[in-house]
Amino acid sequence: MHGGIDHRTSVLFVCLGNICRSPMAEGAFRVAAQARGLAALVDSAGTASYHLGHEPDPRAITVARKHGIDIAGQTARQIERDDFYRFTHIIAMDRANLEGLRSKAPRDGTARLAMLLDAVEGRRGEPVADPYYGDAAAFEAAWQVINRGVEAWAERLLRETAQQNA
């Protein structure tokens, strides 16, 4: 919180339009965090304003549902200045969105910026391919990569939280 610091883990997943990759990451991370008993505020946003107010792409909803996760109630939004204070971690799906975040970040912003696959051994700096112009198989492939990334982040953040509370 900008007015008062909330030390709880909070994660914002970011892609370009906030209708494919970041909503899938938000949904998958919620489940991964809950499974580990990690209390975390989780949200997603886009760096662009193309789809403000829209629900996730139907193909993203379908692939998430296939894996037992409901993301249909999410609504696309664009990253805001306050997000850089409100979240402990802002995680981008690719280099272009990470650079976009860095350019928007206020100098005194407190969020730590990273890419999703930075937490996966041997995959640091790798992007999550945007499935938007692809078919159902592209969404499934993106889901698999995203799920691997969020599982690794959930583990990392669980360890960080344990160290902070020790």
pLDDT digits (tens, 9 = 90+) for 44-84: 999 999 999 999 999 999 999 999 999 999 999 999 999 99
Check residue 162 and give its pLDDT. Answer: 84
Number of domains in the chain: 1
How remote is the C-alpha of 15 from its chain's centroid?
8
How remote is the C-alpha of 105 from its chain's centroid?
16
Which residue range is the domain that position 128 belongs to? Answer: 9-161
Residue numbers annotated as active site? 15, 21, 130
- 151 in a structural domain: yes
Nearest of 88, 92, 109, 93 to residue 157 by alpha carbon: 88
Whether 24 and 146 have beta carbons less than 8 Å apart is answered as yes
- 18 in a structural domain: yes
- 134 in a structural domain: yes
Check residue 165 and give its pLDDT. Answer: 81
- 3 in a structural domain: no
For 60-110, the DSSP string reads: HHHHHHHTT---TT----B--TTHHHH-SEEEESSHHHHHHHHHHS-TT--
Check residue 7 and give its pLDDT. Answer: 54
- How far apart are alpha carbons 61 and 94 in whole angstroms? 21
- 4 in a structural domain: no
- How far apart are alpha carbons 77 and 14 in whole angstroms? 10
Check residue 5 and give its pLDDT. Answer: 40
- 30 in a structural domain: yes
Nearest of 144, 151, 114 to residue 129 by alpha carbon: 144
- 86 in a structural domain: yes
The CATH number that applies at residue 144 is 3.40.50.2300
Check residue 2 and give its pLDDT. Answer: 36
Cα 33-82-32 angle, rounded to 5 deg:
5
Low-confidence ranges of the chain (pLDDT < 70): 1-7
Whether 26 and 43 have beta carbons less than 8 Å apart is answered as yes
- 144 in a structural domain: yes
